[in-house]
Each structure stands twice: as structure tokens, then as C-alpha cells.
Amino acid sequence: MRIRSIAAVILTVGAVIQSAKSDAELTESKHEMIRELLTIVGVAGMAEQMRDHQSIVELMRMQPSYPQMMEFAVSEQADLSEQDRQRLLARLANFDAFAERFRSLFAERLNFSEIIETVYLPIYDKYFSEEELREMLAFYRMPVGRKSIEVMPSLLQEAGRGIEQAVQPVAVGLIQEIVAEERAKLAD
């Protein structure tokens, strides 16, 4: 009886291990499809552009508070005399020089190909089944799929301009309305 129980446990554990192995293989297969899809649609090839864009975004976030940010960073240098802190602040006062060095280090230290994969793989894995990924790959391999990839940037750009043109008059009207409301309150 004891041997049967041990055999049952061994078979159960073996089945669980085999199932986990199949799931891991399935996941790797799915991830390969996602990697191929990212390559086909051009995301993987845009790593440098995305990195450069992100460095500009980060610098734009920093610029308004750059002097305060540098003052704080320099104040953290506890081993410097006050005179050396002032000299360091003077060296860091030029945002353009800082930005140039930041972009250089950003490009050197961040591997956007890895970041893209780290970000996109779990998202595609979450939202698409293997079958859906197969269908997407089949579509993007067809002439109409390749064309959709080719025209999508222009299509989105034109649509964005169209939306902006439709929204802008309304936004201007809203600004005028709010100004008029506040002006009316001045009389109160």
C-alpha cells in the first residue's frame, strides 16, 4: 500500500513538472511570436528613436526646476565646503551643457531594446493569446498588413491634426467663456 502511495505521489509530481515545463515552453513560444511582431511592426527597430525621445522628455521635465534640483543635489554633497558648493553650482548652472551630457549618458547607459522587450512582452502576453498573435503575424506578413504598418504613422499624424483643428475652436471658446464668467464676478 505504501509503495502505491509513493508511486502515486511520484506520478503526480512528474505530471506537475511536465505541465510546468510545457507552460514554460508555451510561454517562450508566445514570447518569440511577440518579439517577431514587435520587429515586423517596427517597434523593435525604433529603440534609438524612443531612447532619444525619452531623454528629451526627461530633460523637459527637469528644466523648469533645474536650478532647485541642482541646489538640492549639491547640498547633498556634505563633504564639500560652502565655497566648493558654490563653485560646483556655478559649474552646473548651464542647463544646455547639463542636457548635452545627460543625453550622452542616457544613450550610453540605457539599452532601449531591452527596455522595449521588458515593457512590451508582458503587455502583449496579457492581452493576446497565442492564436491571436499567430493571426496578427499572418496579417502583418500580408501586403495589406505591411501597408497598414507603412501608412499608420501618416494616418495617425493626419488624424491628430484633424482632431486638433476640430478641438481648437471649442477650446478658444471655452477660454473666452471662463474669462467672461470671471469678469462678471468682478462686478459682484
Three-state DSSP state, 71: helix
- What is the pLDDT at residue 122? 93
C-alpha closest to that of 57 among 89, 22, 102, 19: 102
Q: Given this model, what pLDDT does residue 43 score? A: 85
**Cα separation of 146 and 141, whole Å?**
6
Average pLDDT by stretches of 10, the chain with 188 residues: 46 44 63 92 84 92 94 91 92 93 91 88 94 95 92 89 91 88 85
pLDDT at 113: 86
The pLDDT of residue 63: 95
Count how many Cα atoms sit within 13 Å of the Cα of residue 80 in the half-sphere of its side chain. Answer: 13
Contacts of 54 (CB under 8 A, 6+ apart): 106, 112
Q: What is the pLDDT of residue 9?
A: 40
Alpha carbon of residue 169 to chain centroid: 32
186: Cα separation from own chain's centroid: 46
Ranges of each domain in the chain:
1-40+111-141, 48-107
CB 49 within 8 Å of CB 153: no
In this prediction, residue 86 carries a pLDDT of: 93
